[in-house]
Chain A
């Protein structure tokens, strides 16, 4: 198949990051792996026609997990993998370290969760997130702001502010003041 090598190297390049983002979103690495593999296979079939592959891939991955029916199929497939490869316990243990954060994330509304994962794990800009999530940039900032607020309540020992003048929303203070002004107007 033409382009197979290119596609294969793309899979190797994005797999950890894709699974990581989806695992943060759904809380299960097994389910995330299944969704990621499904999204990658769909991209593979459309390799020549999809322009912004990364954006398309993450969109499909999140969509697979968002739909209740599709997610149920993904979960069934993931749980059907009964035999775990050697060394899997180590991997599970490493994954368990982030459990409190993922548990807290799982309690957030889906859009807040997606916005936080895109912003802080995938390092996407608020403009990019607004395009991907289909809402205004101000809405993205507010969603991230609310999401962080909720996380702070669930993970209360964290500092509220970084040292470099950015708050935890990843937004500059001026932006937040403008948002606040808009919210109060």
Chain B
């Protein structure tokens, strides 16, 4: 007979589960089939939606497709890669508000550089992907950094030369926003800043286990601890917890993240402050990454509006613009098609999604369409 509360808890939790490995496996297979069907449907819808506005020379169409590789794809000639329509990931450059006059993305085994109108400026062939891994564009400054399994591919944009650096433990790497190199996993969760030759140039920073670094600044790594949702700042002296939630964006002086409650918080100079509550604005959730404006005054994020269905069910989206300096109430601007955003040098916002791209003027709230559309892209400086 249990006499203490711990014993009572132990006894109350003694249950017999009926879960079987076969049932778990069936659920895995069911999920894979559902994702495959959704991906196919998405591509079909993408083609239908994008077709009326395709006006490129080679008749290519463009949709923001999910996953790590995304971008425009050829019309009849080149089959599109399957993928769900999701928001694109933020890059450190985008978060830092670097110039968005050109974009880079990975498509069909090549790093593609395109201008703001979607015209391809150059295409640099990459080595084949490591079996079992997707190539992922980590970030771009004057060089592009591509994760390729356990090695990093460093692409010199001016010469087109591709250098392979590694091995990198687990493929974990983050671009140094100052352009001096990149942070790479040495062993497990130990990270070191390396130059473009791959040589370590700084002291080791150790992250907690199961952490994903998402930004760097001033010899400090910012990471999300996966098992508890904590956002941490780590340098050679140790780790500081700076908040909790999912990382949204970072530049050299600011970091933003969203808590489980829907608050968007910004960390600047070691101080955490809440700048907006997504729930109070009535959107149901943010879609993908937020990004800081080039001058650091604004934070923009695409949101799914409440009760409008999922993004794959034609739900309505909007853009929330948060004025970080003046503390004015956040602006919510309905943009039914937008799945992602990036800032231009002139302070305007580029919105992409459903095969379209538009420019939003922050002051006047005017939306101007800019054909042809761009796909998932990383702005270059």
Contact = CB atoms under 8 A, between A and B. Distances in A.
Interface of A: 4, 7-9, 11-12, 15-16, 18-21, 23-24, 29, 32-33, 36-38, 40-41, 44-45, 51-52, 55-56, 59, 67, 85, 91, 94-95, 97-99, 101-102, 105, 116-117, 119-121, 131-134, 148, 151-152, 155, 158-159, 162, 168, 170
A158 B4 contact: yes
A69 B227 CA distance: 20
B227 A56 contact: yes
A152 B19 contact: no
B17 interface: yes
Nearest to A119: B6
Interface in B1-37: 3-6, 8-21, 23-25, 27-28, 31
Nearest to B20: A11
B336 to A, nearest CB: 23
Contacts of A94: 15-16
B208 interface: yes
Interface residues of B, number: 35
A158 B230 contact: no
B17 A24 contact: no
B210 interface: yes
Interface of B: 3-6, 8-21, 23-25, 27-28, 31, 208-210, 225, 227-230, 241, 244, 260
B13 A20 contact: yes
B136 to A, nearest CB: 15
B258 to A, nearest CB: 14
A160 B272 CA distance: 41
A91 B16 contact: yes
Nearest to B7: A120
A41 B228 contact: no
Nearest to A170: B6
Contacts of A16: 14-17
A19 B16 CA distance: 8
B227 A29 contact: no
A52 B17 contact: no
A9 to B, nearest CB: 8
